Amino acid sequence: GAVVSQHPSWVICKSGTSVKIECRSLDFQATTMFWYRQFPKQSLMLMATSNEGSKATYEQGVEKDKFLINHASLTLSTLTVTSAHPEDSSFYICSAPGGRGNYGYTFGSGTRLTVV
């Protein structure tokens, strides 16, 4: 079945450094990728929508210069958290529509980011 491979699954970084998270669609083309963040025991909050070959669309309140999104190909979208701070610690998940019958979406397995 359709898979979105997300890496890394977890990362610990120092304050001020940048972290890149990759999501690759396997066996299907992801022209669109949604990026979410999730705090413990909370729901998913949409951060941005990326489309292959164009600029990402960010949700209100999400800093586009801090969360850089690149969607350079039909199978790869990346999220870079720049100059990370402890408050950026969260669970980040990507999702691509399609790849499944009946219009379901395929989610990556998530990345646990801890900034120390």
Partner 1 sequence: SQQGEEDPQALSIQEGENATMNCSYKTSINNLQWYRQNSGRGLVHLILIRSNEREKHSGRLRVTLDTSKKSSSLLITASRAADTASYFCAENAGGTSYGKLTFGQGTILTVHP
Q: Within positions 16 to 35, which residues make up the interface with partner 1, using CB under 8 A?
A: 32, 34
CA distance 72 to 63: 20
Segment lying near partner 1 (by CB under 8 A), choices 13-21, 64-72, 80-88, 92-100: 92-100
CA distance 8 to 23: 9
Q: Which of residues 16 and 100 has its CB atom nearest to partner 1 in the complex?
A: 100
Total binding residues toward partner 1, as defined by CB under 8 A: 29
Task: State the distance between the two ends of the chain, measured CA to CA, in whole angstroms.
Answer: 37
Q: How do strand 111-115 and strand 44-51 relate by DSSP bridges?
A: unpaired
Segment lying near partner 1 (by CB under 8 A), choices 11-19, 40-48, 70-78, 79-87: 40-48
Q: CB 84: neighbour CB atoms within 10 A?
A: 22
Q: Within positions 48 to 87, which residues make up the interface with partner 1, using CB under 8 A?
A: 49, 59-60
